[in-house]
Amino acid sequence: MPLKIYIDGKFYNKKDAKVSVLDHGLLYGDGVFEGIRSYNRLVFCLEKHIDRLYKSAAAITLKIPITRKEMIKAVCAALKKNRLVDGYVRLIVTRGEGDLGLDPRKCKGNARVIIIADKIMLYPRKFYDAGLSIITARTQQNPIETLHPGIKSLNYLNNILAKIEAVNGGHEEAIMLNTKGYVTECTGDNIFIVKNNVVYTPPASVGILMGVTREMVIGIAKKKKIKLTQVPFKRNRIYTADECFLTGTAAELIPVVKVDGKKVGTGLPGKTTAIFLQEFKELTKTCGTKLS
């Protein structure tokens, strides 16, 4: 069965799912997106993703043409239409079709909603078992005074430049520092370290995407009475940490065992990371919106 893709209220076969070359999402990266996952027909934290989508849109003065309720329905419909039990949804809202000028007013409120529901592509198992080796990128995080990293916009070039550095060095991910040298996040994941049984993750103020998985990890720490603090830190704190892990919708929680060629802790995935991963797996069975 060909993939059925939602564009503005209708489903199209993949080969017919097309948008204009004058769409400002394509011309300028003018739009926002979300990556959402379903586990056994439970759309994980769907409302949180929808909230973030509408927040991102508001931050770029993009008016989404449908209500949150309609959006939730459409995401569920896209998963059902493609008979996905464990799926991945890419939800995209672009400024829509305009002309060659970058003035968003030319798009005349044609904002376009696209929903692609497909199978999830995961990091290979070996990375969960052995942990990732990552680097610090020379490409810095966008300062919060520019395109705020908390906005999940279609303009991911900065992250892609950092990702290219990682890939060129034979790594899977790269840490981006802010202009003051503080650790922010990776190109598609938030970052956590553990030192002496305390968990640390960078706060919003350094410039990060407020990850849904990150929020779940913070909740798990509370529940398990593990001390977790959101404080700025520099990369030397990762080099001397006992454990490090990344969080993201696609990756879930993935251990990091090497940063910039230096072993983190014992150089093996840590026990605190394992506890969080175990608890997270439980949440994927209960947190979200069940497909009817």
117 binds ligand PXG (CB under 6 A): no
β-pair type (183-186, 174-177): antiparallel
Q: How many of the other CB atoms lie within 10 Å of CB of 264?
A: 27
Non-local CB neighbours of 160 within 8 Å, separated by 6+ positions: 187
Site for ligand PXG in 208-247 (CB under 6 A): 209, 211-214, 247
Report, in Å, the least distance between residue 185 CB and ligand PXG: 5
CA quadruple 153, 157, 163, 168: dihedral, nearest 10: 170
d(CA 18, CA 10) in angstroms, rounded, equals 12
Classify residue 110 by burial, with Cβ atoms within 10 Å: 0-12, 13-18, 19+: middle
Map the footprint of ligand PXG across residues 44-83, applying CB under 6 A. Answer: none
Q: What is the dihedral of CA 27, 33, 37, 38, to 10 degrees?
A: -100
Among 56, 153, 158, 190, contact with ligand PXG (rule: CB under 6 A)? 190
Question: Could you tell me the smallest distance in angstroms from the CB atom of residue 3 to ligand PXG?
Answer: 17
Residue 185 binding ligand PXG, by CB under 6 A: yes
The reply on whether position 159 binds ligand PXG by CB under 6 A is: yes
Which residue in the set 56, 133, 201, 249 belongs to the binding site for ligand PXG (CB under 6 A)?
249
Q: Do 46 and 121 touch, CB atoms closer than 8 A?
A: no
Segment 9-48, which members bind ligand PXG (CB under 6 A)? 35
Q: How far apart are CA 22 and CA 30, in angstroms?
A: 11
Among 250, 274, 275, 291, binds ligand PXG (CB under 6 A): 250
The residues pairing with 119 across neighbouring beta strands, listed in sequence order, are 87
* Residue 118: CB minimum distance to ligand PXG, A: 12
Q: Which is nearer to ligand PXG, 106 or 148 (CB)?
A: 148
Interface with ligand PXG (CB under 6 A), residue total 15
Q: Which residues are catalytic?
A: 152
Question: With respect to ligand PXG, which residue has the nearer C-beta, 212 or 241?
Answer: 212
Residues that bind ligand PXG (CB under 6 A): 35, 159, 185, 188-190, 209, 211-214, 247-250
